[in-house]
Every structure is written in structure tokens, then in C-alpha cells.
Amino acid sequence: MRTQSLFRLPGLLAIALTLTAAAYSQAVMVPVVCEQRPCRPVPRPVPLPNALPVKSINIDVKIDGQVATTHVDQIFRNDTQFTLEGTYFFPIPENASIIEFSIWENGKKLVGEVRSREEARRIYDEIVRRQRDPGLLEYAGRDLFQASIFPIPPNSDKRLELKYSQVLQADSGTVAYKYPLGTGRNIWQRQARENVNLGDGQKFGTISGKVEITSPTPIRNVYSPTHWIDVATKDQNARVSFETKSSDSDFQLYFTPSSDDLGVSLLTYREPGKDGYFLLQIAPRPDIAESELVNKDIVFVLDTSGSMADEGKMDKARQALLFGIRTLRPGDRFNVIGFAGEERSMERGLIEANDEGRKRGIEFVGKLSATGGTNINDALLTALKQFENTSRPKMLVFMTDGLPTVGVTNADQIVKNLASAKKVDVRIFPFGFGYDVNTALLDRIGSENGGVSDYVQPKEDLEIKVSNFFRRVSSPVLADVELDMGPVLTEFVYPRTLTDVFRGSQITLIGRYKNTNDLRNITLRLSGIMGSQKRSFAYTKMDFPVRAENNDFLPRLWASRRVGYLIEQIRLNGETKELRDEVTDLGTRYGLVTPYTSYLATDGEVRQLDRAAMSAAPPKTKMMQERSGSGAVQMSVQQNAMQSNVMVVADEDAKDRSNQVLLRNSNQNQFVANKNFVYQKGVWTDTEFDEKAKLTEVRVKFGSDEYFSLVRDKPAIVKYLAIGEQVVLVFEGRVYRVTN
């Protein structure tokens, strides 16, 4: 489905297709002076800007069951002194019907001139040929809506509105919606490479979207792999919103209607002859009763060494810990341990988190003060002794700002002592405050004990970050989780250990499957402790096909998690050739920033990787070898973010809010539909291309009859050819070389 609009201004002036960096994916507007109709080109060159920006775009979607009605409101800006004429193209999604199209002029709505599909296609194809813009090919093979726009007055806005409806598809119970925002990205990249002046004063406003979902059954697992979304769900309704100033990725949204206590959604992707990829999400119903929650045991361990007095860390940590105690439920049990050179426990063992118990905890935390050294070994061993062999979920939250300086200080020995002392299954969640922490130690403690490490860097708010963690884990719904995927042959599934399921959150599993036959309508089984009982849930009609063309973001998302895991293994256990080569291959194949592939762009030209040379003299990064300091902390944050990544791309604003961001497309690199292309000597080259493979090569000239025949015969190839005029592509066992 493609729903991106194209606002096109025809004419005979030889003006290159260029547009502002922020606006390139929303519309293409090449200005032509047109004071009267029929429009005639001016007899002499006119100093016009190369492109007119999209001032704003607002998307308002209402989904009732599986019927979506999309209302698009776009405002274009003509900052020139000339009157312009334009043609508006809109690719109609499959099974969609145009409800309303309007043009605003002088505060009034006017009906646009609508052409037939056949005429729209003919004009559109001619524009692609004449303007030599491969980016426009993304509409190839789709029905088109066309309307003439006149006039576009000088120094004014032009507002267009379009409303259409469509039937959404559901796969394994998961409903998908898409609104394209990534069309035409190659044009901006071309201008950036050629250092074209994109113009001053050409601004681009925001892209905002709102989606209202109504379903006959409760809505679960509302998920976007492409944009940061705010979600509010209540029974059979959900409200989703997003806002961004970047548009290099189509907006994709998935949700699952389910009345089960634990809703499961499944997405798959598989190319013929290759391994498949799956994403499985588990989310509890939002109205889980208190009686259905699992009572937990938790021990809070807080570093109270002298360094915690610096920069107010002790006060912030104390407030975060108090928040954690206040979130405890009456059925929970807990203890608090403060440690410096020696540990100091609130009680000998776990106490009930009733009113009296929470009051005792609050009083104890209020008296903690920062003084002395840092005895991490003894603090952890003391904390482990608090737990009994019960079916309750067990958590140990360990917070420190320093290196071990008292008692056992060797990190390897501390890990060994912890493993020997651990008699029951306890999930350990280490928090490092600042840069003076041993990241290798904290990462190992987390990864080897069913938890994950996290770090509060100096510019981050310690209280908010730790409090958010406590809020997340306050209400377990399902503990001791086990998943039986029946006949599905899976590998490299992340996270490697299933965590407990908590109210208000969801688990996201991603991995590969290798079955050589179609698996249709199979049953997945999920089990664990819910309330005080062992429960089992069956999910039927799940498909793991040998060919699944949708959800092509999954391989890159899987690769991110795999790279994060491999980097962690290298940092904790040392570098080997096998691990280094796999990180390099994955980083190159999927366009990911890694310690071994972040150097790809050099002097405006991307070098082809010489894997033999890299194996002989691999790059060394300081951060990979560091154990403490800012570089080490940032590397740990990166590897942990990649292992928990749930997004394919994100805008600049999202980078400020989270570290879960993959490498964006750049003027030297483009990732399109599970393929990474690098720019080499004017050619976009598929990183899968290997001259030694000796595949059959098909040469075709851009814009030729053979070129358009290829586009018509193989619609799936369009998204790759759209990245540039010169492309080397590996597709369906052949090499396609497009030249100009």
C-alpha cells in the first residue's frame, strides 16, 4: 500500500529536481511561472528556488475493525513572486476508495479536477522519463489519482485535503496500517553528495499523525517499528499519536485485537530460499485485577560510599529508591541493603510490603548517608541470602556509582562468587551511576542473571530513570514464562531469556526460523505463574510461511539485536576472528553502526570492504577495550540498546529520548527493504554484490523501454531501482546493473 502524495508542477524549463533536506519525502514541487491558462513557459530564465517546501502534513486516521479512513491535510508554500500551476498525483492503496478531495483557495474549499486512472498513469510515466527521477518509480504499478492545481498564488500557502478508505489486511491476527513518508529520499541524498545549495529560508514544519482504533475485541500490542508513538488503550479503543520533523521512513502501525488474558501478535518475513524472521509480542490485558498479579520478592541494594555524595547522587538515588518502595504491593516482600566498605541491612530477611513494612523501608532509606569505600562483592552475596526457594518472581536491583575498592576487587572473582552463592533463580538488574563504574562487571552481572544493566550518565536524571524502571516492574502478570513454538525451528532468538510479563508493558521477541515447509495454522503455547496458579495459553492459526513479502523491516531489527549480543560477548570475553567477522558482515549487510563498520564513509566515497584485509589488520576501538569511563559506559548503553531495539529508524527528536536507534540512511548509504546500498563512484551498489559469485548479469539503461518493461514485469524490484539512476542490484539470483 502506498498513500504518499506527489504534488507535481509540469513545464518545459530545464530545472533539476531538488528539494529541501527536510521536505524531500513529502512532495516534489518544481516551480513553473503560469500567470494564465493554458500555462506557457516563460521565454527567459527566471530566478526561482529549486523546490517549494511542504509546510506541514497532518494525518488523521480512524480504524473501525479493519476498515481505515485516512484524512490527509497538506500545506505547501509558494515563497516566490510568481503564480504557479501544478498537478497533484496520489497513488491509491489497494482496495481503497477516494471519498473526498479539496483545494483551499481564499478560505473556501474547491473540488479538484480528477483525471482517469489511465490518463494519470500515462502522464506520470512521462514525468518519470522526462525528469530522470528514479525516486518517482515508487508509484510504479499502482493506481493513481490525479488533480490539476491552479492557481498557486505568489507568497502564499496552498492547502490540499484528501480522504480515502481502505480495508486493512490481518496476518496471524495482527492488523497492519501504513502511511508512506519515505518516498524520494534518493533525491536529497544526491544533492547532498553534489554539495548543491538547497536554499536558505526553506523551512519544513512538522509531520503529525493521530490514529483512533475501535475494535469489537480488546486491543493489544499496539506497535510501530518506525516512529515513536504515544499510545492510550482502553478496552476496545486505542488512541495513537506521533509527531516528527523527519520523514525518511514510512509510518507503520500494527495492533492485535484479542480478548485473551495475554494477547500475542506475530509478524513474519521471508525471502524465497532464505531463513525467515519473526517478531512475537506478548501483552497482558490492561484491566488485570490485583488478585491476578503475581506477588514478588525484591531486594534493593544501594551504594552508599563517599563518592555518592558528589553532584547530589545520594539524594537522587534515595528519592528513586523511595519511589520503588512506594510502588510495592501488599503481597510483595522486600528488603533494603546499603553498602560501602560494609553492608547495612534494613532487616535480617524479607518483610511484607504492607503499610507498616513500607513505612519501615522509608525510614531506613531516609537515614542512609554516603561515606566509605565500595564493597560490591559482599553486598551482592548478602543480598542473595535474602531469597528463598519459592515460585515468586525474585529481583535484585543493584545501584552503584563506583569501582570495587574494598574486599574482593577482581571482577572475574566477583562474578564467580556470585554464581557460587546463587541457589535460586534471581534476576539481577544493575544500575551504574556516572562514568566511574566497571561496565564489564555490571554487564556480566546483568546478562548472566536474567536481567540487564543500565546506566545513568551525568546529564541524565537519575531519579527519573530509576523510578521508571521501578514503575515498569511493579506489577508482574506472568512469572517463570515458558514459550513452546511447536514445530517451528528457531535460532538466534532475542532476548535469549524470557523475562516476566508486567502489567502495562509487553515482551518483544525476535528471531529466525528455518523450516523448509510452509507452517500454517500452528499452535503456540505460553505458560507461567499467574496469580498463585500455573497457567497455560494456546494461540492457534499462527503462520510461519516459506515466503512472506511484508514486514521487510524484520531482518534489520533482528541484525541489530544480534550485533548487540555479539558486541557484548566481545567486550566480556575477548575478541575472536569469528565474532569480529560476524559483526562486520552484519554491520555492512544491514547498514548498522558498529565498532567495526562505522568507518565506512571516507572522503565522500564509500569503500568496498576488503574482508581479507580486515581480518589481517582489524580495526581496534578504544571503547571496546575500556572497562570504565565515558567511552565504556556509552558502549554498554549502545550494546544494550541494540539488544532491546524495537525500531528500525527514528528521527532526531527520538534520539534525544532513547538510545534505541539504528543507523539512518545517509548520502553515502541507503537501506531499502532489507538491502543496504553504498555509494561507490556514482553507483548505488548492493552490499550483497560479489564479483566472484559470477551470477548472470542483466544490463539495462535507465529510462529505456527495457527499463520500464522490467519495472512492469517485476514490481518487487521497483523499491530498489528507485534509489538512483545507476544501481547494481542482486535480485532473485541475478545481478541487475542499471546505467545512465
3-state secondary structure of 318: helix
Question: Edge-to-edge, what's the strand order for the sheet holding 170-171?
Answer: 170-171, 174-179, 251-257, 219-223
The model's confidence at residue 301, banded by pLDDT at 50, 70 and 90, is: very high
The percent helix, strand, coil of the chain (3-state, each to 5) is 25, 35, 40
Amino acid of residue 212: E
Asked if 646 contacts 225 with a C-beta cutoff of 8 angstroms, the reply is yes
Question: pLDDT at residue 499 above 60?
Answer: yes
In 3D, which of 453, 445, 408 has the Cα closest to residue 633? 453
pLDDT digits (tens, 9 = 90+) for 369-407: 888 889 999 999 999 999 999 889 999 999 998 888 899
Asked if 495 contacts 502 with a C-beta cutoff of 8 angstroms, the reply is no
d(CA 396, CA 130): 65
Amino acid of residue 291: S
pLDDT of 9? 37
If you average pLDDT over each of 20-24, 27-31, 51-55, 387-391, which comes out highest?
387-391
Interacting residues of 164 by C-beta distance below 8 A, sequence separation 6+: 3, 69, 70, 92, 93, 96, 97, 98, 99
Asked if 395 contacts 297 with a C-beta cutoff of 8 angstroms, the reply is yes
In 3D, which of 438, 439, 435, 430 has the Cα closest to residue 458? 435
Alpha-helical (H) ranges within 477-608 are: 554-573, 577-590
Give the torsion sign (CA, 129, 131, 135, 138). Answer: negative
Question: pLDDT at residue 197 above 80?
Answer: no
3-state secondary structure of 52: coil
In 3D, which of 275, 274, 223 has the Cα closest to residue 648? 223
Inter-helix orientation angle 439-447/554-573, to 10°:
120
Interacting residues of 58 by C-beta distance below 8 A, sequence separation 6+: 72, 73, 74, 207, 208, 209
Amino acid of residue 558: W
Rounded to a whole number, what is the distance in angstroms from the first to the last CA of the chain? 29
The count of C-alpha atoms lying within 13 angstroms of the C-alpha of 675, restricted to the half-sphere facing its C-beta, is: 25
The model's confidence at residue 600, banded by pLDDT at 50, 70 and 90, is: very low
Domains of the chain and any CATH numbers = 6-257 (2.60.40.1730), 262-291+477-544 (2.60.40.1230), 294-474 (3.40.50.410), 681-740 (no CATH)
Which tops the pLDDT comparison, 557 or 22?
Answer: 557
When the pLDDT of each residue in the chain is averaged and rounded to a whole number, the result is 79
pLDDT digits (tens, 9 = 90+) for 106-156: 778 776 555 555 665 566 566 566 655 555 555 555 556 666 677 778 888
Q: Tell me how crowded residue 63 is: count the other CB atoms within 10 A of its CB.
A: 23
Amino acid of residue 627: R
Q: How far is CA 343 from CA 360, 373, 422, 429, 720, in A?
A: 18, 11, 18, 18, 61
- DSSP annotation string for 198-213: --SS-----EEEEEEE
pLDDT of 490? 96
Interacting residues of 358 by C-beta distance below 8 A, sequence separation 6+: 325, 326, 328
d(CA 178, CA 1): 7
Q: Could you give the angle at the alpha carbon of 557 between the alpha carbons of 625 and 572, nearest 5°?
A: 20
User: Which grid cell sits at 34?
Assistant: 503560469
Q: Which helix (H) or strand (E) holds 51?
A: none
d(CA 222, CA 397): 29
3-state secondary structure of 612: helix
| Chain centroid to CA 224 | 8
Residue 604 Ramachandran class (φ > 0 left, ψ -120 to 50 alpha, else beta): left
Dihedral angle computed from the Cα positions of residues 103, 104, 108 and 110, in that order, rounded to the nearest 10 degrees: -10
The model's confidence at residue 444, banded by pLDDT at 50, 70 and 90, is: very high
Asked if 611 contacts 482 with a C-beta cutoff of 8 angstroms, the reply is no
The model's confidence at residue 712, banded by pLDDT at 50, 70 and 90, is: confident
3-state secondary structure of 15: coil
3-state secondary structure of 691: helix
User: Which grid cell sits at 196?
Assistant: 548543491
In 3D, which of 388, 384, 325 has the Cα closest to residue 360? 325
pLDDT of 33? 59
φ, ψ dihedrals at 550, nearest 5°: -80, 170
The model's confidence at residue 690, banded by pLDDT at 50, 70 and 90, is: confident
Asked if 208 contacts 242 with a C-beta cutoff of 8 angstroms, the reply is yes
Rg over alpha carbons for the chain, rounded to the nearest Å, is 29
Asked if 700 contacts 738 with a C-beta cutoff of 8 angstroms, the reply is yes
Which tops the pLDDT comparison, 660 or 129?
Answer: 129
